[in-house]
Structure 1
Amino acid sequence: MWRREVLRYVRDTSQLFGGISRTILWLVILGLGLGAALREIEGYTYAQFILPGVITLNVLFASMQCAIALIWDRQVGLLREVVISPAPMLSVALGKLLGGATIALVQGIIPFLFTPLIGVEVTLAAFLLALVVIFSMGITLTGAGIVLASRLRTFEGFGAISNGVIQPLYFLSGSIFPLRGVVGGVGFLDIPEHLRVELRQLGIYAIGGGWVVQLPVWLQVLVYANPVSYMLDTLRFVLLDFRQLPLALDLGVILLSPPLAVIASAHAMKRMTTSR
């Protein structure tokens, strides 16, 4: 199963093209474009700040695309043939998850090719640690995709729901904006005082040449409830030495999510094969 997923990815160049195009769009165009308006976030340029978020975005899409293949496997009868083999369902689910995580790892490496362009120096140790985080993230998100795919019967339904899952997980993970911190803004000190008063009521304060920003409480609750937030925070800590969530929670999610994903995926796949 693991080898089959990798071979499917190698033969489908559209996924590789999608990973490259997303990286160019988000990291280069958006990062450097908004970077002209936002000088820095907590001492990092905007492109540098969203680098872990772009990696996470590639992993999200790769994991969900791998999971959607499960619907096709069920329609053509391949999944049932695998089930009646001597292989236990846990082994089948593990092969599917490892295949999805491997593809997600390859897709997640793509943004590293653009790090010289945005001024990020990644050491060998940081790169290896980042690979571990990305692989853990890939297993977890592939497992979530399998659970989602197990409840659907058509590609169209999965496409609509997966977009409804990918976008909230991504945007509510602190990938493109900080939970709190100093955001450098061009011309902020030139804003009239009465407008500054209104901004302060929204939690935005002016210190020096930057804005001290803190998300609304309800939005913070959603970010803290999102498991992707902790994985992304760990990745940002590894690559940029900057984090905004408790390190213990970050590591706990990284370590505990993959085993839970394996169990949930095996249960979901078993239910797929037994349901009519």
Structure 2
Amino acid sequence: MTVHLQQEQQTMLWTLAMHAHDAASTRPILGDRYAADLLDRVDDPPRLGLSLAGNTPLICARAKLIDDAARAFLARHDEAVVLHLGCGLDSRLLRLDPGPGIRWFDVDQDPVIELRRELYGEREGATSVAASVTDPGWWAQVPDDVPRLVLAEGLLMYLDPEGVHTAVTHALTPGSTLVADTVAPWVTWIAGLQPAMRAADTGFLSSTNDLAAAAGAVNLEDELSLVDATATRTGGLTSTAIRLFALASGGRDAMVLRTYRRP
């Protein structure tokens, strides 16, 4: 299957490759048993290279923490809506296997959703939405009569501040919880120097400050350093290097996972 994706859409294949690499390791962090099979069905899968492969522990720790947050939410709610924004080819729906009372929405741009349908097929209780997360039109089809969990993984930093505001405002309706990762302002600059990002003609456009501004007065329930989370889930030289990085100014907050809850 030949995959034709543009700019930031290409990053979903990087993420899939990182998940597969992690699952094949002797000490998996996420243990995504679906990733390798999906990657095998894609012609010319991406080669991570040294710079991207080095990000595998961080990316998989992020996914693990978001999975854990979603499982905790689902354990509290037999009936709910889950919106997986910018879902890419992530197998989160399969990993979490929510119950029959959960209405799940996978949301991404049209080429991505088309590819997901080919690779995953249809599942009862799950709806694929081909739309930009910044397009307010599709949000009207999302039920608002039950608690809502919105997951935004590896997404917001690719939106400009206006796009972040649009997505977050629609996500944080009454009774909603938003779990999203974001990066420090300095990371938006340094990420643009990464060869893979430059080759994909993409980069980070927003930061923690933009997420905070978009959330406004909505309660910030939790914030976790993904740098710390990665350090505790790795060993040897990798863990040592990450812990040393965390000691540098701004290191611990380079990438964080935030949970907002609106009553």
Higher helix proportion (structure 1 or 2): 1
Q: Which has the larger radius of gyration?
A: 1
TM-score, length-normalised on structure 1? 0.30
Higher strand proportion (structure 1 or 2): 2
TM-score, length-normalised on structure 2? 0.31
